[in-house]
Structure 1
């Protein structure tokens, strides 16, 4: 599949652009990017949303699912594979759905999907059956696509072309940068004797509150 993708990229033709005459240091570029982000309410909202999502989801889900499968469901590696497979299937369906339709109000879809995602994630903390959890994870993966793709699209469409690279880098740095922190925080909580189901439930409630707060964000909800 990677070879096929590489061949497809090979045929992409880019227009040659004249070289830029201005030279800036990385530090100046960083400062300019931060100043631009501070003035753009949509960018700040999107980046903060991505920050909290990755912090509350990545560690508790990645560390939690194997523990739940082993200790709660008394399952095996096959059981964990079912969970992982359901996540891939849900993500694929979500991508196909978004490729097939045009969202008239992506901001509303994003916030609504985030609320559903958070509620389902909270529900996984109460689940005691493997197949029910697999179903929840599949729907969560679908909802994740309905959050992530409109989120990135909104960021790109509200950003000037000259700042697009910096804003995408800003988003990716904030998003992926908190993943190790989430892993460490989850590990410390487990080491302190807090059950993984409790951690997932609390994380889900926090994301639900975050999504509910964004229902007041008119910039995102009115985006078309």
Structure 2
């Protein structure tokens, strides 16, 4: 009987060794962390410098700021030049405006029509009358060339030629931003504010307040 018992034990041991061990089951991964309630931080804008190299002799080293008439006279600046281009023949060239004569014309127009404007630019400012081309002689075809970089816009030249209406609304808002002027609203209102602000920079004693 003992022999049979030993044989049974040996057979059981042999059977147990013939089966592979049970596989090792990896523990489940931890649950993902809950979503953060904080918004992703936005990239900080690079602050523009307060001063720039003056783009023109009649401009200051501040964005969208020009010298006064008195300062320009002291510096013997009497002609304001700017680049233009004909829409017909596409020729580009430079023209000059007499500072005192042209500014007097703009000032007289504002003085005579300010009450009728109701703080909105008139049609002649919204749709400027262009010059005649000195090459192909096409009438009302020469437009000012406006700098692609806003800090280089020739504001005094545009004012004297009454060409500021050629600027986009975005360019006008740039001017208002750096002159602390409320810059929301339609283009005719922002354009009106730009004209009067430029005139005040040149002559703060004139009828250029609203």
TM-score norm. by structure 2 comes to 0.27
Which has the larger share of strand?
2
Which has the larger share of helix?
1
Higher relative contact order (CA 8 A, sep 6+): 1
TM-score norm. by structure 1 comes to 0.26
Q: Which has the larger radius of gyration?
A: 2
